[in-house]
Amino acid sequence: MDVEIEPSTLSGRARAPSSKSYTHRAILAAGYSGGALVYDPLVSADTKATMRAVDALGGTVELRSTSSRTQSDEDVTRESDHLDVDGFDGRPEVPGDVLDCGNSGTTMRLVTAAAALADGLTVLTGDGSLRSRPHGPLLEAVEELDGRAESTRDNGQAPLVVGGPVSGGSVSMPGDVSSQFVSALLMAGAVTDEGIEIELETELKSAPYVDITLELLDEFGVEAGKENLSGEGDGENGKSGENAEAEAGSGGGTYYVEGGQFYEPEDGEYHVPGDFSSISYLLGAGAVAADEDAAVRVGGAYPSAQGDSKIVGVLGRMGADVDWNRDDGVITVERSSLSGVEVDVGDTPDLLPTIAALGAVADGETRIVNCEHVRYKETDRVSAMAEELAKLGAETEETEDTLTVVGDESDLTGGEVDGRGDHRIVMALSVAALAADGPTTIAGGEHVDVSFPDFFEMLYELGATVNR
Catalytically active residues are 350
424 carries a ligand binding annotation? yes
Tell me if 86 sits within 8 A of 59, measured CB to CB.
yes
- Whether 375 has a binding-site annotation, put simply, is no
Asked if residue 109 belongs to a known ligand binding site, the reply is: no
377 annotated ligand binder: yes
Angle formed by the axes of helices 381-392 and 423-434, nearest 10°:
30
21 marked as part of a ligand binding site: yes
310 belongs to an annotated ligand binding site: no
Asked if 217 and 224 count as a contact pair (C-beta separation under 8 A), the reply is yes
Q: Is 350 annotated as a binding residue?
A: yes
In total, the chain counts a number of residues equal to 468
15 is an annotated ligand-binding site residue: no
Query: Was 67 annotated as part of a binding site?
Result: no
CA 62/CA 34 separation, integer angstroms: 15
- How far is 352 from 371, CA to CA, in rounded Å? 8
Give φ, ψ of 363 to 5 degrees.
Answer: -80, 150
- Residue 290 forms beta bridges with which residues? 10
Task: Say whether 205 counts as a known binding-site residue.
Answer: no
How many other C-beta atoms are found inside a 10 Å radius of the C-beta of residue 290?
26
Question: 155-192: b or e for each residue (b if 16 or more CB lie within 10 Å)?
Answer: ebbbbbbbbbbbebbebebbbbbbbbbbbbbbbbbbbb
Say whether 133 counts as a known binding-site residue.
yes
Angle at Cα 238 formed by Cα 233 and Cα 242, nearest 5°? Answer: 35
Annotated binding-site residue numbers for 3-phosphoshikimate: 20-21, 25, 178-180, 206, 350, 377
Annotated binding-site residue numbers for phosphoenolpyruvate: 20, 105, 133, 180, 381, 424
Annotated binding-site residue numbers: 20-21, 25, 105, 133, 178-180, 206, 350, 377, 381, 424
